[in-house]
Amino acid sequence: MRWTLRRMERASPEEIVGYQERRLRAMVRLAASRSPFYREWFAASRVDPRSIRTLADLPRLPLLERHDLARRPDRFRVYPSKAMWTAHSSGTSGQVVTVHRTAGSSAYELATLQRQWAWFGIPHRPRSLVLRSHDPDPHGTGVLTRQVPGARQLTISSYRLDPDRLPRLLEEIRAFDPQVIEGWPSSITALGCLLEDAGQRLPVTAVITSSEVITAEQRALMQQVYVGPVVDHYGQTERVAMAGNCEAGGYHQFPDYGITELLPVPGRTDSWEIVGTPLHNWGFPLFRYRTGDEVGPAPAGPCPCGRAFPLLGRIDGRVEDTFTSADGRPLPLPHTVIKNLTGLREVQVAQLAPGHFEFRLCPTDSTDLSAVQRQARKNVDTYFGPGQTVTFQIMDAVPRDSSGKLKAAVRAPHD
Ligand SMILES: [Zn+2]
């Protein structure tokens, strides 16, 4: 796997396309024979799977939407679900999808990231301080950090950052001596703000970010407090396409991970939607999945780093308001509290006031509403901490924002 990944970063554009097309042909054959969704589609559309041979043939396959993975994800499986890992996510949209991953696909994901890290001199398995949604203290015993020994990780919660806890937190972080900091930009900058206010710095080899757009202010703060470069990658829970920055500042598609198509956004001349066809998850083949993420125009190549990986424009649309807890803590990427609320047609969490969160639920005929509500309360307790007010509103459809998009988390006045 690593050998192939190393070979691809030195490959010519033609060699890269050759690799993509070989994998595409094999995946189409597999899907057409073993995936219920694609078996039916090929039969109904009378397309011969063997006729899908090149990137130019790809658009003959149908586009997949979020709701395809929200409603009947099992129709895409070609392996038994117990042979794979299952993951759920809403992303920043209000539809929760379910996906399955093979062990090989998860190893490939990590190997692809490690290849990018190597461009910045990050060791293969760095000691990593991780700030995402992990709760290091599920039993409320007051611990601030947790070590994951096999993974060489120290996790801290993005939702427990405040000046009172900082001295003890910093002591535990320094004892662990991280080589990198990894996680959501909004969380890493929330910690950065606390450090800056306290006149502290925490130099590391690199800051590894994903999941959100980084603002110029966030980038400046991170570089000041953490000194090392920001290494950002773009991906999704569905794992259909990946991209990331290189040491020369280019933002590259990772074309051996997946085929990226850029679909024009209606009514816009400077925006494209990222559509991904993953080339590594043999148990759950997907083709042409619409991510809902939009990019601007790609800069003219080639990149000074010399790699033939195509450049990608600036990725928009992954910005989410930070919520505030009842006791005033910042709550970054609040859509975390809806990511496992499956079985709903749509779902949104709205902050009506600091510490008051309303779940807007659109059930189907088969939704177990009381189970969903129990899970939602539990999520708020786990991630945002106790002492918050949780209310529910049952709706036929969640209202869209001014651009017509369904958002997973919004700050809204009561109406
Ligand atoms: Zn580059």
- Comparing CA positions, the residue from 240, 136, 122, 241 lying closest to residue 182 is 122
In the reported structure, the alpha carbon of residue 208 is separated from the centroid of ligand 1 by a whole-number distance in angstroms of: 17
In the reported structure, the alpha carbon of residue 302 is separated from the centroid of ligand 1 by a whole-number distance in angstroms of: 8
Mean per-residue pLDDT over the chain, rounded = 92
217: tokens are: 């202010």
Lowest mean pLDDT among 258-272, 313-327, 368-382: 313-327
In the reported structure, the alpha carbon of residue 308 is separated from the centroid of ligand 1 by a whole-number distance in angstroms of: 8
User: Which helix (H) or strand (E) covers residue 2, if one does?
Assistant: helix 2-9
Residues with CB under 5 Å of ion ligand 1 are 246, 248, 250, 303, 305
Q: Residue 402's pLDDT band (boundaries 50, 70, 90)?
A: confident
Please report the pLDDT score of residue 10 as a whole number.
Answer: 95
Rounded CA-CA distance 150/152 in Å is: 6
Residue range 11-45, pLDDT digits in tens: 999 999 999 999 999 999 999 999 999 999 999 99
Long-range contacts of 137-140 (CB under 8 A, 24+ apart): 138/382, 140/386
Do 129 and 87 share a domain, yes or no?
no
Total structural domains in the chain? 3
Is 147 a member of any domain? yes
- Read off the amino acid at residue 269: T
Average pLDDT of span 377-397 = 93
* pLDDT at 140 exceeding the cut of 80: no
Task: For residue 74, give its domain range.
Answer: 2-101+255-303
Do 210 and 299 share a domain, yes or no?
no
In the reported structure, the alpha carbon of residue 13 is separated from the centroid of ligand 1 by a whole-number distance in angstroms of: 14
Residue 383's CB is within 10 A of a number of other CB atoms, namely 22
Is 160 a member of any domain? yes
In the reported structure, the alpha carbon of residue 233 is separated from the centroid of ligand 1 by a whole-number distance in angstroms of: 13
In the reported structure, the alpha carbon of residue 193 is separated from the centroid of ligand 1 by a whole-number distance in angstroms of: 30
Please report the pLDDT score of residue 214 as a whole number.
Answer: 87
Residue range 210-255, pLDDT digits in tens: 988 888 889 999 999 999 999 999 999 999 999 999 999 999 999 9
Please report the pLDDT score of residue 189 as a whole number.
Answer: 92
In the reported structure, the alpha carbon of residue 48 is separated from the centroid of ligand 1 by a whole-number distance in angstroms of: 38
In the reported structure, the alpha carbon of residue 280 is separated from the centroid of ligand 1 by a whole-number distance in angstroms of: 23
In the reported structure, the alpha carbon of residue 387 is separated from the centroid of ligand 1 by a whole-number distance in angstroms of: 47
Please report the pLDDT score of residue 343 as a whole number.
Answer: 87
In the reported structure, the alpha carbon of residue 306 is separated from the centroid of ligand 1 by a whole-number distance in angstroms of: 6
Is 246 a member of any domain? no
- Comparing CA positions, the residue from 291, 276, 275, 290 lying closest to residue 240 is 276
Residues in the chain: 415
In the reported structure, the alpha carbon of residue 307 is separated from the centroid of ligand 1 by a whole-number distance in angstroms of: 6
Do 91 and 181 share a domain, yes or no?
no
Q: Residue 414's pLDDT band (boundaries 50, 70, 90)?
A: very low
In the reported structure, the alpha carbon of residue 243 is separated from the centroid of ligand 1 by a whole-number distance in angstroms of: 11
Average pLDDT of span 362-382 = 94
75: tokens are: 């129709």
Is 265 a member of any domain? yes
In the reported structure, the alpha carbon of residue 82 is separated from the centroid of ligand 1 by a whole-number distance in angstroms of: 39
Is 248 a member of any domain? no
In the reported structure, the alpha carbon of residue 84 is separated from the centroid of ligand 1 by a whole-number distance in angstroms of: 34
In the reported structure, the alpha carbon of residue 389 is separated from the centroid of ligand 1 by a whole-number distance in angstroms of: 47
In the reported structure, the alpha carbon of residue 281 is separated from the centroid of ligand 1 by a whole-number distance in angstroms of: 26
Residue 124's CB is within 10 A of a number of other CB atoms, namely 9
Please report the pLDDT score of residue 81 as a whole number.
Answer: 87
Do 128 and 91 share a domain, yes or no?
no
Residue range 149-168, pLDDT digits in tens: 888 999 998 888 889 999 99
In the reported structure, the alpha carbon of residue 246 is separated from the centroid of ligand 1 by a whole-number distance in angstroms of: 5
Please report the pLDDT score of residue 298 as a whole number.
Answer: 94
Rounded CA-CA distance 80/102 in Å is: 10
Do 26 and 82 share a domain, yes or no?
yes
Lowest mean pLDDT among 87-96, 114-123, 282-291, 360-369: 87-96
Do 11 and 78 share a domain, yes or no?
yes
In the reported structure, the alpha carbon of residue 186 is separated from the centroid of ligand 1 by a whole-number distance in angstroms of: 25
Do 6 and 88 share a domain, yes or no?
yes
**CA dihedral of residues 189, 193, 195, 197 (deg, nearest 10):** 170
In the reported structure, the alpha carbon of residue 318 is separated from the centroid of ligand 1 by a whole-number distance in angstroms of: 23
Q: Do the Cβ atoms of 288 and 63 come closer than 8 Å?
A: yes
Out of 228, 263, 285, a domain closes at: 228
pTM score of the predicted model: 0.88
Do 91 and 165 share a domain, yes or no?
no
Q: Residue 415's pLDDT band (boundaries 50, 70, 90)?
A: very low
Rounded CA-CA distance 322/344 in Å is: 24
Please report the pLDDT score of residue 160 as a whole number.
Answer: 84
- Tell me the DSSP string of 240-290: ---EEE-TTS-EEE-TTTEEEEEEEPTT-SS-EEEEEEESS-TTS---SEE
Q: Do the Cβ atoms of 315 and 262 come closer than 8 Å?
A: no
106: tokens are: 């998860």
Please report the pLDDT score of residue 413 as a whole number.
Answer: 65
Do 125 and 223 share a domain, yes or no?
yes
- Tell me the DSSP string of 22-84: HHHHHHHHHHHHH-HHHHHHHHHHT--GGG--SGGGGGGSPPB-HHHHHH-GGGG-SS-GGGS
Do 63 and 13 share a domain, yes or no?
yes
The alpha carbon of residue 19 and the mean position of all alpha carbons in its chain are separated, in whole angstroms, by 25
In the reported structure, the alpha carbon of residue 234 is separated from the centroid of ligand 1 by a whole-number distance in angstroms of: 15
Do 129 and 174 share a domain, yes or no?
yes
Do 224 and 125 share a domain, yes or no?
yes
Rounded CA-CA distance 32/37 in Å is: 8
In the reported structure, the alpha carbon of residue 312 is separated from the centroid of ligand 1 by a whole-number distance in angstroms of: 11
In the reported structure, the alpha carbon of residue 285 is separated from the centroid of ligand 1 by a whole-number distance in angstroms of: 29
Please report the pLDDT score of residue 375 as a whole number.
Answer: 96
Residue range 50-76, pLDDT digits in tens: 999 999 999 999 999 999 999 899 999
In the reported structure, the alpha carbon of residue 120 is separated from the centroid of ligand 1 by a whole-number distance in angstroms of: 12
In the reported structure, the alpha carbon of residue 115 is separated from the centroid of ligand 1 by a whole-number distance in angstroms of: 13
Q: Do the Cβ atoms of 359 and 373 come closer than 8 Å?
A: yes
**CATH number of 340's domain:** 3.30.300.30
Is 141 a member of any domain? yes
Is 405 a member of any domain? yes
Is 242 a member of any domain? no
